C-alpha cells in the first residue's frame, strides 16, 4: 500500500468514533470475514463498529468468530452512522437497497476492494485488483494502523483469503496470498476447521438441489461451455433456497474440456441469477457486464429480471461468442 492511502485510512479511523461496515449482497467468506476482522479491530481500539448485510448470513459462515455481530438493515433502522466502510464491493449499490439506505448523503465512505470493475466511489479508497481478496487489503490497513492481529482477526482474514482463492485453487493464489495465509495460521487461524465449514458441510436442502441441478447439465459450444439451470420448481421440489445452490456453478466448470461454467438460477419468480466461472482463458467479467453484472476475470455474476429460458439462451449465446474468439463490440 502506498503511504498516502495508508495515511488516509489511519486518519479515517482516528477521525471517527463510530463505524458502519457493509459488504455485498449474497456475501461470501471474503465479504463477511473482512467485515468481522475490521469490526473486531475497531472495537479493540475502544470504538464502535456495526456490521450490516442486506442478505441473510449463509450457514457456512456462522463458524466465524463474532458471526452474531452481523445484523440485517431493519435491525439498525433509524440509527445514523457518521462513517461507513464498504468492503469487497465494486460499487456502492452492491450493498443492496436496504443497506444502501443506511448510508446518509454526505457521510464519509471508505472503499476497500479488489474487483476490476470498481467504480472509484468513496474516500479514502484502497482498490487493488492484484489482491487475492479484500481480506488481504483489510490486513494491510490494520498492519499500517499498528493493530495487533489476534486469533479472532486472523481466523476471519484467513477465511477471506481461503474463500476467494477457492481454497487456494484459483489463479489468484499468489505467493503473497499463501504467505498471508501462513501468517494468519501462526496467529491462530485454523485451516482444517475453516475448510470443513466452507466446503465440507452441506445441508440436506443443498445436497438435494445439487442432485436436481446436475440433471440439467449441458455441454455447449462444442464442449467449451458447461451449463446448469435451476428453475423455481426445482428449488421448491428440493425445499431449497438460492443460498443452498451456492457453489453449484463449480460443477458446471468441472465438466472435462470446458473453459467456462455457467449456472442460471431463478432465485425468485422472474428474477434470474447468472454465475460464471472461467479457467482464465475467457474474461467472464466482460460477459457478466453485458447482463448488468460484473466480478472478476475468472468469476463473475449478474442478476436480472426476465424469463429463465430466454436469459439462459442469451447467456449461452454471449458465452459462445466469448469462447469463439472474443466478443463483438458493444452496441452504441
Q: Which residues bind Mn ion (CB under 5 A)?
A: 30, 88, 133-134, 164
CB of 162 to Mn ion, least distance (A): 12
Cα(117)–Cα(129) distance, integer angstroms = 9
State which residue, 30 or 286, has the beta carbon closest to Mn ion. 30
- Which grid cell sits at 96? 443492496
Q: Find the residue with minimal CB distance to Mn ion.
A: 30
State which residue, 300 or 308, has the beta carbon closest to Mn ion. 300
State which residue, 29 or 73, has the beta carbon closest to Mn ion. 29
CB of 216 to Mn ion, least distance (A): 28
State which residue, 35 or 225, has the beta carbon closest to Mn ion. 35
State which residue, 133 or 229, has the beta carbon closest to Mn ion. 133
State which residue, 131 or 212, has the beta carbon closest to Mn ion. 131
State which residue, 113 or 244, has the beta carbon closest to Mn ion. 113
CB of 131 to Mn ion, least distance (A): 9
CB of 240 to Mn ion, least distance (A): 25
Of 324, 5, 27, 16, which Cα lies nearest the Cα of 164? 27
CB of 331 to Mn ion, least distance (A): 30
CB of 129 to Mn ion, least distance (A): 11
CB of 133 to Mn ion, least distance (A): 5
Amino acid at each position: 500500500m502506498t503511504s498516502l492511502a495508508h495515511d488516509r485510512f489511519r486518519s479515517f479511523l482516528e477521525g471517527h468514533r463510530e463505524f458502519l461496515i457493509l459488504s455485498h449482497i449474497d456475501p461470501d467468506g471474503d465479504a463477511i470475514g473482512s467485515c468481522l476482522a475490521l469490526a473486531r479491530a475497531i472495537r479493540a481500539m475502544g470504538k464502535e463498529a456495526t456490521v450490516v448485510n442486506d442478505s441473510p448470513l449463509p450457514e457456512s459462515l456462522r463458524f466465524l468468530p463474532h458471526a452474531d455481530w452481523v445484523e440485517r438493515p431493519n435491525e439498525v433502522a433509524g440509527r445514523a452512522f457518521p462513517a461507513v466502510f464498504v468492503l469487497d464491493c465494486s460499487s456502492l449499490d452492491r450493498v443492496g437497497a436496504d443497506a444502501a439506505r443506511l448510508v446518509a448523503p454526505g457521510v464519509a465512505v471508505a472503499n476497500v476492494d479488489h474487483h476490476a470493475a470498481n467504480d472509484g466511489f468513496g474516500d479514502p479508497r484502497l482498490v487493488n485488483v492484484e489482491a487475492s481478496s479484500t481480506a488481504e487489503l483489510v490486513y494491510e490497513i490494520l498492519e499500517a494502523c499498528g493493530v495487533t492481529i489476534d486469533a479472532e482477526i486472523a481466523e476471519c482474514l484467513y477465511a477471506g483469503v481461503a474463500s476467494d482463492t477457492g481454497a487456494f485453487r484459483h489463479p489468484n493464489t499468489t505467493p503473497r496470498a499463501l504467505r498471508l495465509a501462513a501468517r494468519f495460521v501462526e496467529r491462530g487461524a485454523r485451516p482444517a476447521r475453516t475448510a470443513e465449514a466452507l466446503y465440507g458441510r452441506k445441508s440436506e436442502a443443498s445436497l438435494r438441489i445439487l442432485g436436481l441441478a446436475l440433471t440439467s447439465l449441458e455441454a455447449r459450444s462444442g464442449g467449451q461451455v458447461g451449463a446448469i439451470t435451476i428453475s423455481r420448481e426445482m428449488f421448491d421440489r428440493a425445499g431449497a433456497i438460492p443460498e443452498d445452490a451456492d457453489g453449484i456453478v463449480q460443477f458446471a466448470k468441472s465438466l472435462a474440456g470446458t473453459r467456462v461454467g455457467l449456472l442460471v438460477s431463478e432465485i425468485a419468480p422472474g428474477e434470474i441469477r447468472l454465475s460464471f466461472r472461467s479457467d482464465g482463458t475467457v474474461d467472464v467479467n466482460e460477459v457478466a457486464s453485458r447482463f448488468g453484472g460484473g466480478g472478476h476475470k475468472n468469476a463473475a455474476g449478474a442478476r436480472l429480471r426476465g424469463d429463465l429460458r430466454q436469459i439462459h439462451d442469451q447467456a449461452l449465446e454471449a458465452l459462445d461468442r466469448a469462447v469463439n474468439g472474443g466478443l463483438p463490440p458493444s452496441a452504441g
